[in-house]
Amino acid sequence: MIETRQPSPEVQALDRLVGTWKVTGGAEGTVRYEWMPGRFFLVQHVELTQFGEPVTGMEVIGNLRPFGEPAGADVVSRYYDSAGNTFDYVYELEGDKLTIWAGAKGGPAYFAGTFDAAGTTLTGEWVYPGGGGYASTSTRI
């Protein structure tokens, strides 16, 4: 018998990110989200300027599924950029509230944002431990 796999509801919920967004605030530029075939993974393409420096990157978002094991419960990602950085995140979308933790879920560095009723604007803030962070608004274009 062939097992039929489906993307998790938590990954499917991120469909509202698909498209191109203009980012303003502490980072400026555009991000674009698209599904990989099968819709198990969402890919983000990043073209931003942050702290005066250009940032070009790519992020793959979905549930981990190590060889021979079931899919993990959390929606996680790995981000790669043109400066050689790799960052891991955990995504959670509950209603209109999107939380993205840098590192482990529940950690001290995170983005907390809210979609407007039309789903065309995401407004929030990156919070960093010890202060810092910045406000960010993404508008679908």
Q: What is the pLDDT of residues 110-122, one digit of tens each?
A: 999 999 999 999 9
> Which top CATH class is 9-140?
mainly beta
Domain residue spans of the chain: 9-140
Amino acid occupying residue 50: Q
Taking the C-alpha atoms of residue 116 and residue 110, their distance in angstroms, rounded to an integer, is 20
Q: Is 47:31 a contact under the CB 8 Å cutoff?
A: yes
Task: Tell me the CB-side half-sphere exposure of residue 32, using CA atoms within 13 A.
Answer: 7
Rounded-to-5 percentages of helix, strand, coil across the chain = 5, 55, 40
Element (H, E) at 47: strand 41-50
pLDDT in tens, 43-95: 999 999 998 999 999 999 999 999 988 888 999 999 999 999 999 999 999 99
Q: By percentage, how much of the chain surpasses pLDDT 90?
A: 89
pTM to 2 decimal places: 0.93
Torsion of CA 112, 104, 108, 11, to 10 degrees: 0
Contact 22, 32 (CB under 8 A): no
| Per-residue pLDDT at 7 | 94
